[in-house]
Structure 1
């Protein structure tokens, strides 16, 4: 009896804790990253968040420039320049990593995508000056050390990175999807890493102009989060960045979703073990309501073992080894993608049929109440887990910088959180029908055929005997002479419907007269 009573008590405690947890997550307004934002006279936007739980500070700089700022024939510049930023500056003409790593910096890196280039590091609180000095020196004093030798070196590094990426299984899908889902000339119609020819063509002058055009302070945001007080951070930002020029104004691209019509299918072969299917739709841009709803739709379809696509394709039908749906949200357009890898021996047609059936069911009925509860909880829990960190992707410094660059204010994330918290089943169903019912690009990746050689070989110890030559049978000839004396010879063959004429004259250059 006591044992049963203790079990009931434990169960009640668990239920109560779960209720408190989910109730806490339901209050989207409770999620807050306090910050102070100010703008230097040169246009640099500075965001400061105090977090004193550990003596570390995250320094995160976003430049509002990515591959979409390139032009056809001049691709790969944004990513190439990211590499050059780690090769030293005029006042520290050495590797960028060494001084920071010596003092214990972590999460030290840079990345480039279509819309932005960012550089970030977590440093001990006593090394903030070092991090800001290093970042400001390469922002304001870089070009003096970027010479042809350094450009050629980093060009080679980037091209080797491209080759390594292209050697990965299914890697050709990235380039094929990029080039075939957006129209020619669209800023998202080329890859971030660029083409080999364009990288080869990049000149020292091109690189210098890129820096002058996009790496001014007015095109940057610095987000500082961690164990530092706001007034100290302000003073340090002014000290290290205040004298750097603003740079020229940067024109922004308009939203260009480029929704597709109908269905476009391509089939390719690659060195892969199993067939894979991609279905891609162009959807609205980062920050839009439909983009947020479609992000939730992707979670309904594929996040967790109880999600619709996983349950149908992997668990029940066992026709796929994996399946996922995800949203890639960019500044002027987004994409919704479903990817499934077929089981050995399963035709991709069967995989696609199952995906289409599940998607069609969602378009007709939308998500259930339990699915809505699950995905809302998952979204908010994931966000909260991310902001436990001050740096890195999804950390507080990253979130504040991203929302300032894309949304115009550091706390734009609250708009999305509120939208998720208040989303209704009909919102997700409506967004899915607006964007996923038509206009799809389908890519099939198949393994190369498995050829094999016979285990038995011919006798190669001596040359084969040719034997007796066969007799050649010529057709019977019919001869006649025309009234003008011309001789005619006819050889009849009826293999193909062709008649061949040849005229032979008893004359040639030997009959020519000298001088004529």
Structure 2
């Protein structure tokens, strides 16, 4: 093999002490409360002119009574439908530059998050206070009916996935009827159908009050500034009834329980479950670490035995999912096709029993703890959102009365002993187990009838009147909407550049927010480099890099990453094959050495090639079982044609037959052909300096010599077939939803930046407030979400539209998609509200887009790939300001029309066939198993 360096030493690399890592996790805060009971936490982080606004309400699905399942989640949706002084919650926030504007519901709470420019904080607080104290006058029967439809389609979308009914079966098996954690958060269709306007109003008055809420402001803010703002907007809202948690502890089954369900899945999945402790029980942390050792780490007991050594499974996992008052401790195995279920099941149970009896080793426990702490450090980069610093503080206060609960948890995790973990495992996992098996076959259970209280069939409730008029609401005086203060232009980090001695270019941006470093090595390859008779080569080759080098086997690679708190991932996109490292800054040197060994010295051992090829074939089977997977596999060949490098299944997994034929020699050849230094670029973002970084990169990658053979190239200029508009139907029986995906090639390449087109696509379908989503989801209630996208590859770009819709509206949805696309701009050009949202909103929101090192890393990589200047994003506001409605309309007229679209529809043919006659497009049928659909 050309250019192989001397082997890297296999000795374990030194790692920073765990205690030092724990000390790095810190979120300083100040706390104050209003007279009405609203508690506010303020964390100052001046790294960017943005503020994360996080609101947690103590109301979740566990607070729902019989006949009212799904109410907490339904109300979360209603919260976005506008308040008495704000017709639509999202429009002003997006125009102000908010990102991560969202909400979610769990068993224990409902939360709402947005990250806004500092100048929009007054607006965000006004809006949060308006829906906390001035909402009910805006909740109408029409809004309730529409959001009911959206939630029901969210439920159908989840149910429609392979293994989609497991969530219901888990709760039904672990908890008795009436237990607050038994019914699913999304609830039952029957209860959602029965919800009246009076019901949801009472739900609001009983639960949504300032004394049941926690507000966190994190970022470019301090307590002295925050206190008067919070008092101004929230101070006059009255307290409400105190929400009290229902009794809801863990449940011990009287005897083991087994349940088997048939589903439209390719492989048998076996699950072992126990009800576990709540998050304030010390055993919850011990179980978390124990289950990581059992099946959560890459080097876990189950992975090593069942996937690597004995090859009885294609996937295993184990975790302790902990809620406030109870949790679910779970281990599962996806049995390898062709393996006797009884053999796999017996071995699975034996390994679990052995681990419960003996527990983890000190090294295993330390590796699990290090990975956990490293992950926590990474999350500290985000001030807001669902997993950032705001959420961490809010959950600590809400569930434990201590915003610094995360610190206490880390201290416990760092001090846990194998004996403590073993004792916790034996306390909880020697109780009677709930065994669930999902086996291939026609689905026999109906998700529409699952997720509710549990005894509706034997003890039905009187059917309420969902249209029963509600009492008239007395609203308060109008509240003026505060203006958004000026927002400065983005200050994108300075990019330093260098070149290694072998010619590999290096781009570096320093970020010191957290002690982590991200390194990405990108090669000009990707799925488009796959031979057409061997689709999936790049993906499998990259997956094998971590499965053994000339000096380390797969277990050694996994264990070393865990000791270092590092994560190495190799994968491909359409144009690029990449190896990416996330490293703790103190452990950067040994982490880079491991990354270099993985990249440069893969072993491609025959047994590992066979094992991963089998796993990849199983993954393809899972993709073919998924309605979304089927549609995405089909659309690219239909757009680009069989002979174009982009005419490949979008996941890159490839063709099962071709993958099964790949040999170590094939994969070695692909590696040496495409993963070579003269096709590579290195991009680094994080807590180091270029002076510290370059010697490490030179030592690990600078000695890598390119082979004498010419650089390979992809023919991205290959001919694309003339458009052939039509509907291609893939029959998937018993589907409560149809997945619609449409697409066509555009006369543009990714190197041709077109900001007007990007803004036009935002108006049409890219975002919650886009026309397609507002029409099909918010107005019609036929879908949980509709989206259009314009790709940015090196070669020919593509327009795609995707819409999962309820099955009985498939034809109507297709007609509406086509009509809405034609209407922009023929019948309705971009209006002033839309223009302000996509121009001013994008300008103000730019700092949010580059809050984390991962976001900056991605931006630099894309800029380099597409030939953009380093100041592309810093100068983007100037280009946005120069784009008006005329330019956006022109881009929509030229690029976003539906005339040449080909649509793939995956759904139940007997339901959708009669609906397609009025769409006006020819209809074809394709088998679900054909990954080369449309290649004629």
Shorter chain as denominator, the TM-score bin is: 0.7 to 0.9
The answer to which structure, 1 or 2, has the higher relative contact order (CA under 8 A, 6+ apart) is 1
- In the alignment, what sits opposite 2:315? 322
- In the alignment, what sits opposite 1:48? 42
d(CA) in 2 for partners of 1:40 and 1:149?
35
- In the alignment, what sits opposite 2:29? 35
d(CA) in 2 for partners of 1:412 and 1:132?
26
Q: Could you tell me whether the CA contact under 8 Å between 2:27 and 2:389 is conserved in 1?
A: yes
Q: Could you tell me whether the CA contact under 8 Å between 1:58 and 1:397 is conserved in 2?
A: yes
- In the alignment, what sits opposite 2:224? 231
Q: Could you tell me whether the CA contact under 8 Å between 2:296 and 2:319 is conserved in 1?
A: no
d(CA) in 1 for partners of 2:185 and 2:381?
30
The equivalences for 1:142-181 within 5 A come to 142-181=135-174
1:207 equivalent to 2:203? Answer no
Give per-residue Cα distances to partners, 1:281-311, cap 9 Å, x unaligned: 0111012111110000111012333111111
- In the alignment, what sits opposite 1:221? 214
- In the alignment, what sits opposite 1:299? 292
Three-state SS of the structure 2 residue aligned to 1:337 is strand
Bigger Rg, which one? 1
1:285 equivalent to 2:285? Answer no
d(CA) in 2 for partners of 1:349 and 1:42?
60
What's the CA shift for 1:413? 1.5
Q: Could you tell me whether the CA contact under 8 Å between 1:29 and 1:418 is conserved in 2?
A: no
Q: Could you tell me whether the CA contact under 8 Å between 2:263 and 2:442 is conserved in 1?
A: no
1:445 equivalent to 2:441? Answer no
1:413 equivalent to 2:406? Answer yes
d(CA) in 2 for partners of 1:427 and 1:200?
48
- In the alignment, what sits opposite 1:360? 353
- In the alignment, what sits opposite 1:91? 85
Structure 1: gaps (5+ residues): 1-6, 451-516
What's the CA shift for 1:21? 6.1
Q: Which stretch shifts more, 58-67 or 348-357?
A: 348-357
- In the alignment, what sits opposite 2:632? none
Choose from 238, 245, 249 the match for 2:238.
245
Give per-residue Cα distances to partners, 1:232-252, cap 9 Å, x unaligned: 011111111111111112222
d(CA) in 2 for partners of 1:170 and 1:291?
27
Q: Could you tell me whether the CA contact under 8 Å between 1:403 and 1:413 is conserved in 2?
A: yes
Structure 2: gaps (5+ residues): 1-5, 444-936
d(CA) in 2 for partners of 1:201 and 1:410?
38
Three-state SS of the structure 2 residue aligned to 1:232 is helix
- In the alignment, what sits opposite 1:477? none
Give per-residue Cα distances to partners, 1:37-67, cap 9 Å, x unaligned: 1110000010000001111110000000000
What's the CA shift for 1:177? 1.1
Three-state SS of the structure 1 residue aligned to 2:123 is helix
What's the CA shift for 1:29? 4.5
Three-state SS of the structure 2 residue aligned to 1:114 is coil
Specify whether residues 91 and 333 from structure 1 end up closer, same or farther in structure 2 by C-alpha distance, changes over 3 A only: same
d(CA) in 2 for partners of 1:53 and 1:449?
54
What's the CA shift for 1:428? 0.4
Q: Could you tell me whether the CA contact under 8 Å between 1:253 and 1:332 is conserved in 2?
A: no
- In the alignment, what sits opposite 1:184? 177
Q: Could you tell me whether the CA contact under 8 Å between 1:312 and 1:354 is conserved in 2?
A: no
- In the alignment, what sits opposite 2:97? 104
- In the alignment, what sits opposite 1:273? 266
What is the TM-score of this pair, normalised by structure 1? Answer: 0.82
Q: Could you tell me whether the CA contact under 8 Å between 1:287 and 1:416 is conserved in 2?
A: no
Give per-residue Cα distances to partners, 1:113-160, cap 9 Å, x unaligned: 101000001111111111111111111111001111111111111111
Choose from 321, 326, 331 the match for 1:333.
326
Three-state SS of the structure 2 residue aligned to 1:156 is helix
Q: Once superposed, what is the RMSD of the aligned Cα atoms?
A: 1.9
What's the CA shift for 1:341? 1.1
Q: Could you tell me whether the CA contact under 8 Å between 1:255 and 1:285 is conserved in 2?
A: no
d(CA) in 2 for partners of 1:68 and 1:135?
24
Three-state SS of the structure 2 residue aligned to 1:52 is coil
1:77 equivalent to 2:66? Answer no
d(CA) in 2 for partners of 1:247 and 1:214?
7
What's the CA shift for 1:364? 2.1
Choose from 52, 62, 67 the match for 2:56.
62
What's the CA shift for 1:444? 0.5
d(CA) in 1 for partners of 2:65 and 2:160?
26
d(CA) in 1 for partners of 2:424 and 2:297?
22
What's the CA shift for 1:206? 0.5
Choose from 390, 394, 401 the match for 1:397.
390
Choose from 20, 24, 31 the match for 2:20.
24
Give per-residue Cα distances to partners, 1:73-114, cap 9 Å, x unaligned: 2111000000000000000122x1111111221111100010
d(CA) in 2 for partners of 1:78 and 1:382?
30
Three-state SS of the structure 2 residue aligned to 1:328 is strand
What is the TM-score of this pair, normalised by structure 2? Answer: 0.46
- In the alignment, what sits opposite 1:261? 254
- In the alignment, what sits opposite 1:309? 302
- In the alignment, what sits opposite 2:870? none
Q: Could you tell me whether the CA contact under 8 Å between 2:280 and 2:400 is conserved in 1?
A: yes
What's the CA shift for 1:175? 0.7
- In the alignment, what sits opposite 1:459? none
Three-state SS of the structure 2 residue aligned to 1:442 is strand
- In the alignment, what sits opposite 1:501? none
Three-state SS of the structure 1 residue aligned to 2:43 is strand
Structure 1 segments of 4 or more deviating over 6 A? none
